[in-house]
Structures are given as C-alpha cells and as structure tokens.
Structure 1
Amino acid sequence: MPTSFLEIVELPDGTIVLRRAEDEGVLVTLGFSDDAKTFLQGQHVEIAKAMFNIGVQMAGRVSEGEFERDEEGPQTLH
C-alpha cells in the first residue's frame, strides 16, 4: 500500500472509519454498539483511535514479512 496520510472519521451514522485523507474510500470500518458506547462513557472515538493505531502498526509489520500465516482455514482470534 503506498504511503499516504490516513484519517479517522466518525460518520453521521456513528460508524468510525479509517481512510486515506485524499480519498473518500474506506479502508477499515469500526462500529460500537450503544451498550459499548455507554460502557466506554462516550470515549469510543479514543478507543477507536487506539485500535486503528495498533492495526496500522501491525499491518506495517506484516508488510515487512515479520508475520506469516502457516495454516489454511479459519483462525481462532483471542
């Protein structure tokens, strides 16, 4: 993926997306339930920023060949 500036935007429907700053195309979508928003005391956007930050870091590590998936089929996520 070419280097570009990324932005995190909360859309009118409450969905939070990661996209390239120069493009309206969405790279990643994140949604919180009303219960989660209540539990997070309205700080869901800050949580989303942290989640996207870690995801971008991990994507960089994957693109550098640091991680390889050995098995086929579904993975169990923890």
Structure 2
Amino acid sequence: MSSAFLEIIELPDGDFVLQKADEEGEPLVTITFSKDAKEFLKEHNVTVAKAMIGAGIQTVGVISKQMAESELDDEFRTVH
C-alpha cells in the first residue's frame, strides 16, 4: 500500500528530497542549490526548499481538481 504521508529530507550533500514516508525508492522531487545559492541563503536554504516543495504540492492540487472537473464535464455532456 502506498504511503499517504510525504517527508522532506536534507541529504548529506545539501540536496533536499521529497519522498513518501516509510517507503524506499526514487524521490518524488530533488532540489539542488548551486554553490552560490547555498552561500547566499546560508541556513535559510531549508525554508526556501520547503516553500518550493509546498508551492509544487499546492499546484498539483489545483491541477488535480481541474482534471477531475474536466472528467465530470465530459461524463455529463449532453449530445443532441
């Protein structure tokens, strides 16, 4: 069964990954900051990574809703 919970992990190399909790396998998303970005952000890189992932998840929700509404429109189309 697929996990409904997601987690953000900071890897030893400074990358951040979004993955399903309690599951192994390829991450859903990986964020890699350049050296310059890491120097600029310092400890705020965690905040920026969380915001980026949060915005992505929110956008996926909007897209999913639009797709579901589109499927309903197709299902109840009146044909004359």
TM-score > 0.5, shorter chain as reference: yes
1:15 and 2:48 equivalent? no
1:5 and 2:19 equivalent? no
**How does the TM-score come out when normalised to structure 2?**
0.72
Equivalent pairs counted in the alignment come to 66
Q: Which amino acid in structure 2 is aligned with residue 28 of structure 1? A: V
Q: Shift of residue 6 of structure 1?
A: 0.7
Q: Shift of residue 58 of structure 1?
A: 0.5
Q: Shift of residue 65 of structure 1?
A: 1.3
**How does the TM-score come out when normalised to structure 1?**
0.74
Deviations 1:21-51 (A, max 9, x none): 1213300010001110111122111100011
Gaps of 5+ in 2: 68-80
Q: Percent of counterpart pairs with the same letter? A: 51
Give the equivalent residue in structure 2 for 1:45.
46
Aligned structure 1 segments of 4 or more residues deviating by more than 2 angstroms: none
Q: Shift of residue 3 of structure 1?
A: 6.8
Question: Closer, same or farther in 2 for the Cα pair 1:30/1:46, shift >3 Å?
Answer: same
Q: Shift of residue 12 of structure 1?
A: 1.5
Gaps of 5+ in 1: 67-78
